[in-house]
A and B are shown apart, each in its own frame.
Chain A
Amino acid sequence: MTARKFPSNFTDLGLRTNHNLITLVQHFLYDQLHPDSELPGCAVEPTLLPSLESTVAVFPSAIATFFAPSDVSGKCGLYRQRIRATPLWRRGDIPAPRYDTILVSTGDDADGFCGTHVARVKLFFSFNHEDIEYPCVLVEWFERIADAPEEETGMWLVQPELTPRNTRHASVIHLDTVLRGVHLLPYFGDQFVPVELHYSRTLDNFRYFYVNKYIDYHAFETVV
C-alpha cells in the first residue's frame, strides 16, 4: 500500500470530493467574515466571495467531548468520542472507507432533535484566512421526513437531503457547530437485505434511516 498526503490546495482536494469544495468553502468563509450580512454566502454574488489563498490540512477524525453524566464518563461527567472521516479505516473486519454521521447544532432555540440537523462527515480540514484558523467539516445533509418521531419505535426518521439537481446537498460548516456523533439505523422496510451488502456501505444503500436515540444515555436525552 502506498501512502501519500492529502493534497494541500483546495483545487486538488476538491477533485477528491464529489462536491464543489472551493465554492462551499467560499460560502462558509463569507458567512464567517460577514455574520450580520443579510444574504448568506450561498446567495451572494460570486464575485463578492472571498478568495482562498492558504493551504489546507486534512484530518482523519475529530474528538467530541460533551457533558454526559449518565454515561460511562470521566470525572465530572465528560464523555469523549471520536468521529471519523477517512478513506480507509483498518479496524473493521475489512478495511473500508468510514465516514461517520453527526448531529449539527442549528443555532435556533428549538429543543431536542428539532434544534439539530443530521449530517454525514466527508472531510475534516482546516485552513487559515487572515491569520485566523478555521477548523471545518464538509458535510452531506440529511433531512427529517416528518415532524415527529415514528410512533412504533419512538425514533426520528431522516433521509439524505438532495438538491433540486438530485445531488447530495452539502456544505462546509465550522467544527464548533458539531454536537456529537450520531448513529443511524437503516429503515429496512419489508424487503430482504442482500447478503453481500457489507455494513461499511450501509449509509449509502438505504433510503431512510432511524436516528438511534437508544445508543447511549446522552443520545436518549438529546434526540428527543
Chain B
Amino acid sequence: MVHYIESIALFGAPNGLCSSITETRHISAVKKPWRRSSRFNALAQVLITNQRLEKLSACRQDFTRRGMLSGSPYTEVHQELLQLSVPNPEDLQGDDAPAGVLNHVVLAKSKGILISPDGNQ
C-alpha cells in the first residue's frame, strides 16, 4: 500500500489501474441492459439481464470447447462428398452407373385456381 504514492507520482495511476476498466463494464452491464428495459423495476430487469448474459457466455464457451460451433450441419456431409471420387463414366455400365440425379422437378404444393380478370368465364 505504501508504494502507491510513488507509483502515482511516476505513472499517474496506482498499480496500473485505470478507470476505463470499470467504465467498459458499466456500459455492457448497466447502461445497455437499462436501456433495453421497460424502466419498470429497472434494477430487477438489469440484474436478470446480466444473469442471462452470463449464462449465454458460459454456454458458448462450453459449446466451443465441445467443437459444436465449428462448421454447420452440412459440413460432415460436404467433406464426405468431396472425398468421393467421381467415377469415370466409361467404366460404368448399366447397374453400376451412379445413382445420383443431376436435376429434380416437383409440382407446386398448392393447386391452381381459375381467375378471370373481368369476373366472367
Q: Do A and B come from one complex?
A: yes
User: Quick check: B107 and A87 within 8 Å, CB to CB?
Assistant: no
Q: A59-B107, A61-B108, A175-B107 given as contacts; is B115 within 8 A of A6 (CB)?
A: no
CA distance A31 to B77 in the complex (A): 38
Closest B residue to A178 by CB, please name it: B105
Contacts of B114 in A (CB 8 A): 3-6, 87
Interface size on B, residues (CB 8 A): 19
Contacts of A124 in B (CB 8 A): 107-108, 112
Closest B residue to A66 by CB, please name it: B103
Interface size on A, residues (CB 8 A): 33
Instruction: Say if the beta carbon of A63 comes within 8 Å of chain B.
Output: yes
User: Quick check: A175 and B105 within 8 Å, CB to CB?
Assistant: yes
User: Quick check: A1 and B115 within 8 Å, CB to CB?
Assistant: yes
CA distance A62 to B113 in the complex (A): 15
Interface residues, chain A, CB within 8 Å of chain B?
1-6, 57-67, 75-76, 82-83, 86-88, 95, 124, 126, 135, 175-176, 178-180
18 contacts between A and B (CB under 8 A): A1-B115, A2-B116, A3-B114, A6-B111, A59-B108, A60-B108, A63-B108, A64-B103, A65-B103, A75-B74, A75-B78, A76-B81, A82-B108, A87-B114, A87-B115, A88-B117, A135-B107, A180-B103
